[in-house]
Structure 1
Amino acid sequence: MDIKIVENEQMLQDAYSVRYTVFVDEQNVPEELEIDELESEAIHFVGYIGDKPVAASRMRFVEGYGKMERICILHEYRGRNFGKELLIYMEKVAKEKGMDKSKLNGQTQAESFYKKLGYETVSGEFMDAGIPHVTMTKAL
């Protein structure tokens, strides 16, 4: 997978397309919650296989953390370590931007995935867009 930082409107639409498919179509997140008022302050990422967008995420800088958000892989491309590749790339960019720790609100069904990558659960379970989540952090 070729991971890129979004640099133009087409790349941003590619990222939104993946996010919409995963979160709105697959997980029934309300459309108005998926694309929000924080998009303009985020660094967006998109992963391609050839010229097909298959992964997306965004990162913001919040309270001294690189906050990893909206991490998703199209269903038919899961199980190939693309999520791991994407998160490692995001962490590298966070470090380059001066961050020494990262944070994410992960769906509880993905908690073990994040733990394998060094994240530690620092909250109890909470609901976000009707899906159980936990907050997790990692020293970079």
Structure 2
Amino acid sequence: MTVTIERVTDPAECMAIRYEVFVGEQNVPLDLERDELDATAIHLLARDGDQPVGAARIVIKGDTGKIGRVCVLKRARGTGLGAALIHEALTILRDTPGVSRAALGAQIDALGFYEKLGFTAYGDVFDDAGIDHRMMELRFDT
């Protein structure tokens, strides 16, 4: 697998991957998967060669960059691609003036994955589109 991750201005391929993973596999209603933040978010697209295989988005508000909609197609899971998407998002956030913290809402089953990447869980479990989540954060050294 030869993967590249790029920031894209047209998120159409990201949306297609998100649809397949969140709507198709996890039964998230489309009106909850898509929102107004997509218009201003930073979209990351992972490709294996010329094939789109993963996506994520970043929404910056104040000193926090929220990483979300992280997804990898079934055929590319278990390859380290999810971690690579998070590392790329963190690089972008660290390079963004004024941002001192990354946050995300992690599905409960993925808490260990994000903890290995340096995130710490906080707050109570909450429901997002019928799936239990917990907030996580990673603070950047200042």
Task: Give the match for residue 76 of structure 1.
Answer: 75
Residue correspondence of structure 1 range 70-109 to structure 2 within 5 A: 70-98=69-97, 99-109=99-109
Matches within 5 A, 1:26-105: 26-98=25-97, 99-105=99-105
Report the secondary structure of 1:106's partner residue. strand
The runs of 5 or more residues in structure 2 that have no matched partner are: none
Counterpart position of 2:113: 113
1:47-87 deviation digits (Å, cap 9, x = unpaired) = 00011100001001124111001001011211111010010
In 2, Cα distance between equivalents of 1:63 and 1:33:
24
**What do residues 21-52 of structure 1 show as CA deviations (whole Å, max 9, x unaligned)?**
00000000001111111111200010000111
> 1:18 corresponds to which letter in structure 2?
I
CA distance in 2, matches of 1:60, 1:94: 10
Find the partner of 1:2 among 1, 4, 11: 4
Q: C-alpha separation between the residues in 2 aligned to 1:130 and 1:62? A: 25
- TM-score, normalised to structure 2's length? 0.93
Aligned sequence identity (%): 36
SS at match of 2:16: helix
Deviation, 1:95, is 1.1
CA distance, structure 1, for counterparts of residue 66 and residue 36 of structure 2:
16
- The aligned amino acid for 2:106 is G
TM-score by length of 1: 0.95
Tell me, yes or no, if structure 1 residue 126 matches structure 2 residue 126.
yes
Provide the C-alpha distance between the structure 1 equivalents of 2:72 and 2:44, rounded to a whole number of angstroms. Answer: 12
Following TM superposition, the consecutive aligned residue runs of length 4 or more in structure 1 with deviations greater than 6 angstroms are none
> 1:112 deviation in Å?
0.4
Instruction: Tell me the number of residue pairs that the alignment of Structure 1 and Structure 2 aligns.
Output: 137
Aligned-partner Cα distance in 2 for 1:63–1:128: 23
